Copies of this chain bind each other. A is one copy, B any other.
Amino acid sequence: MIFSAIDGLKDMTTFLNITMSLDGFVAGPNQTLEEPLGEGGEQLHEWIVGLESWRAQHGHAGGESNADADLVRETNERTGAFVMGRRMFSSGSGPWEDDPKANGWWGDDPPFDGPVFVVTHHAREPLVLGTTTYTFVDGIEEAIRQAREAAGDKDVQISGGGSVAQQALNAGLLDELHIHVAPQVLGGGVRLFESADPGTLELVRAVESPRVAHLTYRVG
C-alpha cells in the first residue's frame, strides 16, 4: 500500500511475520553458530515446528492441525516473496567466504519455495537451492522493492530477524505487523522495538491458540 503510489504496482501488502517473547524479544542473548537465535531463542518457535502446515512446507507429512496450523498455511499462501536479514539466512556478518553457513541455515531444499531477498552489504550472485532462489540485496528498501516485483499477485513477507524488522519499521515500509507473542519471558536479547517507531498501529486481529497469541496490526 505504501509503495503502490510510487512504484505503480497493484495493491499489495508488505507484512512483518515474526515471533516475539512476551517481554519483547525476537532472539535471546549471545547468538552463536550452535544457538543462532541466542539463549532461549529457540523456545520462541516451539509453537510452530510441530504443525502440519509447517511440516508440509518443510517436506514432511503429519503434524498437528489446529488454529496455529491454519494461520501458518494462510500466511504461506499469501506470501509471494520473502525478505530476511543476513543472520536469518546464514551465520555470519562478514564476507561470504568466511561464513561456515554460506548456503544458509535452511538446507539444500529450503522451505521458502520461491524468491527470497537477503539484505546484506556483501555482494553475491543469486543462489538457487531446490525451489528457492536467494537474491542478495544491499539495503532494506531495495530488497522490498525487488520482492514486490517478484511477488506476482501475492504479498511480501518480512521474516526477520530483529535488525531487518527494525529497519523496515523505521523506514515506514510495512503495511501490517503479524506478531506471534510466545508465552516466554527471555529477559535479554534482541528487542523487536528497540529504537523502532512503527507509527500508529491498529489491532485488526487476535487469534488465541494453546501456545501463542497471534496479533495482527495495521500500520496507520
The reply to whether A22 and B206 form a contact with Cβ atoms under 8 Å apart is no
A116 within 8 A of B: no
A39 within 8 A of B: no
Q: How many residues of A contact B (CB 8 A)?
A: 30
Q: Which residue of B has the minimal Cβ distance to A24?
A: B24
**What chain B residues lie within 8 Å of A197 (beta carbons)?**
185, 187
A156 within 8 A of B: no
Distance in angstroms between the alpha carbons of A206 and B211 in the assembled complex = 11
With contact pairs A22-B179, A181-B215 given, residues A203 and B193 touching in the complex (Cβ less than 8 Å): no
Distance in angstroms between the alpha carbons of A203 and B183 in the assembled complex = 6
| CB contact list, A40-94 vs B, under 8 A | none
21 examples of A-B residue contacts, CB within 8 angstroms: A22-B179, A22-B193, A22-B215, A23-B191, A181-B181, A181-B215, A183-B201, A183-B202, A183-B203, A184-B201, A185-B198, A187-B193, A203-B209, A203-B210, A203-B213, A205-B208, A206-B206, A206-B207, A206-B208, A206-B213, A213-B215
